[in-house]
Amino acid sequence: MKKLIHLKILIIGLRGLGVEIAKNIILVGPNHVSIFDPEIVKINDLGANFYISIDDIKNLKRRDEACL
């Protein structure tokens, strides 16, 4: 845990598993977390990513932008 607090972490991919990993890592409290997923949000993402809303689909947001 002491080592994790000083880490800088990059998470690539925010589908179901990626967003769950990002949430769990952020809750531990590392120094810095960056996320990257350039894919445009689709209707299928609503079932796997709890940060995405229907408005994100309408506005054609990227997954990483919608999760912020």
Which residue bears the tokens 């990227």?
62
- Looking at residue 4, its pLDDT comes to 81
- Looking at residue 40, its pLDDT comes to 95
Q: Which of 3, 1, 28, 2 is nearest to 11 (CA)?
A: 28
Mean pLDDT of the chain: 91
Q: Which CATH class is domain 4-67?
A: alpha beta
Judging by beta carbons within 10 Å of its beta carbon (0-12, 13-18, 19+), is residue 64 exposed, middle or buried?
A: buried
pTM: 0.80
Q: Is the pLDDT of residue 1 over 80?
A: no
| Residue 58, both tokens | 């309408």
In the chain, where the domains are located? 4-67
At 38, give phi and psi (nearest 5°): -80, -5
Residues 27-51: pLDDT tens digits?
988 999 999 999 999 999 898 888 8
- Looking at residue 3, its pLDDT comes to 81
- Looking at residue 12, its pLDDT comes to 94
